[in-house]
Amino acid sequence: MPSPVSGFSKKTKAEKIAWLASQYLEQDLHAIEILKSYWNQDPKLQQLHDDFIENTLTNFYLPLGIAPNFLINNKLYALPMVTEESSVVAAASNAAKFWLDRGGFQAQVISTVKNGQVHINYFGKTAELTAFFNQIKPILIESIADTQRNMQKRGGGLIDMILVDSTKDLEGYYQLHCTFETGDAMGANFINTCLESFANTLEKEATTYNAFEAANKFPEVVMSILSNYVPDCTVKASVTCKVSELAQKNISGEEFATKFVRAIQIAKTEPRRAVTHNKGAMNGIDAIVIATGNDFRAVEAGVHSYAARDGKYTSLTDACVEGDTFHFWIEIPLAVGTVGGLTRLHPMAKVAFKVLQQPDAQELMKIIAVSGLAQNFAAVRSLTTTGIQKGHMKMHLMNILNQLAASSEEKEKTISHFTNQAVTHSAVVTFVNLLRN
């Protein structure tokens, strides 16, 4: 049975692996060898990766692929995408090629405001807390003068703060709702530093406020933290073409448009479908967020909460036909950066930004939104025409062959065999076993 450990973070990497092997890996030499084989051969690069998180043992690789031919606002891009899922890069590439000859993608940033809150307990009179806030608001703003000086030079900083009475939802609960502009930075550290300054200043000023002293009721800060729900930091991406231009093999443009729009309507109506529908869009969004060293968990949380902003979880994308014109678009919140965090620290993220032609934060928002729209278009197109499994399983075939440790010759023969055959795991296993026997 494994034993607790103390001082684990102070051990060397080799000592951590040795402890893990003795406690959980049953001294599996092969497992230890795998962990060490993923170390970067350049000690400086490995040290850089070691410093990204705590208790690092090794690196965990994911493929970085390229989806070319993305025409966005009349500018051509190749999108770096990091993902483990078969067919994502291929689907994005196919969608990009499809729209390349139909005017490409259009994208625009709608707003870039981010937010955070100081959450407060106060069980006195609302009027007294309001008067206190109005009195100390200039002092709160002054408390972050040094913190936001450089941000203000770049056109960012605090926009405003208001006191929100949330006692109808939770007894004694108030918040300082603060809005920020952070330029090319995602801004999490900046926002959190400002919020903590507000919190400390508020509690300090409260100790000498007469109305609080008289009632012996003081506001207490529970926590100070930015929000990953950013409905005022949004971007829209869209495609448009004549319905006749949607004609596919064995399907007219009119039939394609009708089925496609109906599929979107279903995703707008049925949450069970909407979740999977939106996951398809996130395949494209996350892949670029990860490639550029941004926080994909924050993006995921914000996007999915936005999908439920009206009280029901629904599709992130919309489609319609107006006259003889087909429209398909996505509008999502995206808090991403091109400076700070790992965006300029991770060597692969730096390469990704170079591939993207060094976009600023707003340009990156547009690129990411387009990737989500393209991925969603590819998925819905497959679902309403050939079915999702045909293309997906073709791409998954190589994963199955690698699981079976197939040789190059076996891979070549199996891929050839399944060119016109349905790919299933059992069918591939059976065919490979026939080759081996």
The set of catalytic residues is 85, 279, 295, 392
Closest to 256 (Cα-Cα) out of 167, 191, 321: 321
SS3 at position 73: coil
Place of tokens 């976009």: 359
User: CB under 8 Å to 47, separation ≥6 — which residues?
Assistant: none
- Beta pairing partners, 329: 238, 318
Instruction: Output the CA angle 378-380-383, nearest 5 degrees.
Output: 110
Instruction: Output the CA angle 121-126-130, nearest 5 degrees.
Output: 95
d(CA 221, CA 176): 10
Closest to 183 (Cα-Cα) out of 304, 363, 371, 344: 363
User: CB under 8 Å to 321, separation ≥6 — which residues?
Assistant: 243, 257, 258, 261, 327
d(CA 308, CA 395): 32
Both tokens of 282, joined, read 């996130």
User: CB under 8 Å to 229, separation ≥6 — which residues?
Assistant: 115, 301, 302, 305, 306, 333
Both tokens of 30, joined, read 């092969």
SS3 at position 120: strand
User: CB under 8 Å to 433, separation ≥6 — which residues?
Assistant: none
Starting at the edge strand that comes first in sequence, how are the strands of the sheet with 234-242 ordered? 106-109, 234-242, 325-333, 317-322
Q: How many residues does the chain have?
A: 437
Both tokens of 272, joined, read 């069970």
Amino acid at 16: K
User: What b/e string do you get for 8-39 counting C-beta neighbours within 10 Å, with b at 16 or more?
Assistant: eeeeebeebbebbbeeebeeeeeebeebeeeb
Place of tokens 């496609």: 260
